[in-house]
A and B are shown apart, each in its own frame.
Chain A
Amino acid sequence: MATNTPAPRTQRLFHSLPSALSSLRTFTASLGSKGYLLAVGAIVLLVGSALSQHFMTSRNLISVLITASVVSVLAVGQYLVIVTGGIDLSVGAVAAVSSVIAGLALQQGTPWPVALLLALLTAGLIGIFNGLMIVYGGITPFIVTLAMMSIARGVAYMLQTGRQVAIEDQGFLAAFTGNVGPMPAPVMIALLVTIVFAVVMAQTRFGRRLFALGGNAEAARLSGLPIKRDIIGAYCLSSLLAGLGGVMIAAQLTEGSAIIGEGYELNAIAAVVVGGASLFGGTGDPVSAVLGGLIIAVILNIMDLLGIQAQPQLIVKGAVILLAVLFTSGVGNKLPGALRKLLFQQRYTGKPAAEADPVGAVPASDKEEADARH
């Protein structure tokens, strides 16, 4: 006799868990790459709070934001280049050279706004040089910026001449390390840069042209877009923001130094790709790049709070980048299905034909393959 009794609790749970996961996946997918980033961010915050009592303190969170502010500024610049299908490996070295220039100028008694201008001007010129070499020299962005990474670092070493370039200008230090309202200045600068370039990318013709350039450069050129000018502009802005990042870190360290910024280019690229941008160009947005950088910074912070050794931290950082890119690019969504298909196919093709089919019938495609081998 059929009864209408409710299913046991475990069975209901068994049914409800996949459906809940599916709903979550649908919801985050509907939000796009930012949805995954926000979901991952929320999970990371929850895990951090559960694992360390110091994690959710205002002091720690502000410390993470200050630390991430420099990479965020660099990531926005890197994004402007990556969206065109390019890459800028020189940002760390440009940050170093502008920190040294700002420090040396301040040591000479130059007013800090002038010192800042000098540092940014140098960075901007380096970016224009990169752009010119790419556009008119016909050299790939990877090679141009790789060479510039070495040149800029060398110039920084030569300018510094092995001595500490201490910064004592209180106006400069207050501008870049003080508080703006309730927030530290570096965080406000990073926020401002992110908002400005999010608007530039979404609302201005220049931003649209960068997307078009990354989507299909040839089509953009044939449409009459000034692609050469835009590429030079993108590299100039990337270097300019790297210069700003260099000045910010110089203020935090109270010194200009040729050895700062090592590996920043890779951190910035990691932030951009974790944020869902494709290295082929034409996708993503500056806000996601900054969120990507923040997630990496928070995970590293949690591991430091837990006293995890440096070696496993590297493994975790790499794994996070891979996983994040899988999901923000949308491939992660299809991954379970693809794995199921792969496993099923392996099981199917793994069986001998006779065992798979008792009557010894060979599927047409297999037969053709067998014939071809003979």
Chain B
Amino acid sequence: MVTKRTARLALISSLSAATLIGLTACGGSAPASTSSEDKGLIGISMRFIAGNSWLSTMSDGALKSGTAKGWTMEAVDAQGSAQTQIQQMRTFINKGAKAIIIEPVGDRNVAGGIDAAKAAGIPVIVVNDRVSEELAKKVACNVHDDGEATAELVGAKAAAAAVAKKGENSTINLYIQALFPQELVTESRENGFMAGWNKYMEQHPTVQTKRIPNNYGEALPDKTLTAMRNVLSGNPDVDVVFNQTDVVMPAVIEALKGAGRMDQNGKTDVILAGFDGGMEVIKAMAKDPSSHVVADGLNQPALQAAYAVDEAIAAVTGAPTGKCEGSPATRILPPLAVTPENASQYISDSLAFAGAE
């Protein structure tokens, strides 16, 4: 006999399911897999897709690039779990994928997936983040940008703008709005930026640089806003801010406004430098030649993805691109920093992060 409680539960469950399906449908997200003239399947396992707009730009770029070349592409989200990524790689092997592209969750912990693909004779391409040298030698190609070299370009341009503004015999207060404490990407961007900054300052020995200790926003806008507000309270005379990701640039700008260092029209005497090529930042730079953002480092997620697809196809067809070289086989994107003068070249309405497609 169906009790009243059971009936109610069934009703609630049905309503919930209907609501969820409705919401899912409203989201307008198409399945990651797209079939075309079936040259074969290329599987892509991303560290994250949901919740990471930079990585979802990369994933979309790979799907678009592979589909345009006649391959069936399927992208899956490992949600930051190495175990999930290994499982996804095994699933691709079982589905008969011709090649697998991974944006690895960790440098060593995806070894099980790479070994399984190697045993099945399926080439693996590693994109963006790196794996250990031992694993890197087992894959067909390692595609990544040179974050440190890009940050070095940004550092040099920020230093030039700071010296031009403050002049010789001045002290420049430099603050880096960092991502995560003791994390590789954060450190490489900081080291690169400081290398470029210091190299420029060697030619201006009378200029002193005073570093304000880093604070960490974990690439989250609200945490960055709090971190920046606190830093600006203690250091109201900051001159230069290197914001390590454009994802949180609105938070940095709002904090400057709140501290009275920027007016409501965006006029400020603080020099800003960014990274990642967030499209809104690039558009703002292009719009105003005297933009407060003097340089932005591009790591071109869509281009990295396209290179990874090219290398995957090359590994399957046996026709090398000739651009993945060395041991471990590596293809590196050239470093690139955008300035207000050339920002208009990088504007695209189809990308959330600037760069070639």
Chain A contact residues, CB within 8 Å of chain B: 52, 54, 57, 59-60, 63, 66-67, 70, 129, 132-133, 136-138, 151, 153-155, 157-159, 161-164, 166, 249, 252-255, 257-262, 300-301, 304-307, 309-311
Contact = CB atoms under 8 A, between A and B. Distances in A.
Most buried by A among B9, B56, B182, B222: B222
Contacts of B53: 162-164
Interface stretch (B62-70, B151-159, B223-231): B223-231
Contacts of B225: 67, 252-253
A311 to B, nearest CB: 6
Contacts of A161: 27-29
A133 B8 CA distance: 10
B254 A136 contact: no
B222 A304 contact: no
Given A151-B20, A157-B50, A304-B215, A255 B250 contact: yes
Contacts of B216: 310
Contact of B27 (A57, A66, A158, A254): A158
Given A252-B254, A253-B251, A158 B221 contact: no
A163 B352 contact: yes
A304 B230 contact: yes
Contacts of B222: 70, 249, 253, 260-262
A159 B280 CA distance: 19
Most buried by B among A154, A164, A262: A164
Contacts of B233: 54, 57, 59-60, 63, 301, 304-305
B278 A164 contact: yes
B116 interface: no
A164 B259 CA distance: 24
Contacts of A63: 229-230, 232-233, 258-259
B237 to A, nearest CB: 11
B170 interface: no
Contacts of B280: 164, 166
B352 A132 contact: no
9 contacts: A132-B12, A138-B9, A151-B20, A253-B250, A253-B254, A304-B234, A307-B234, A309-B181, A310-B215
Given A164-B352, A304-B215, A259 B230 contact: no
Nearest to B20: A151
Contact of A67 (B23, B29, B212, B226): B226
A138 B250 CA distance: 43
B181 A310 contact: yes
A320 B109 CA distance: 36
Most buried by B among A136, A162, A164: A162
List the 7 closest pairs (A to B, CB-CB), nearest first. Answer: A158-B27, A304-B230, A60-B233, A307-B213, A305-B234, A162-B53, A310-B181
B220 A158 contact: no
B259 A129 contact: no
Contacts of A59: 233, 236, 259-260
A317 B51 CA distance: 27
Interface in B210-264: 212-213, 215-216, 219-223, 225-227, 229-234, 236, 247, 250-251, 253-254, 258-260
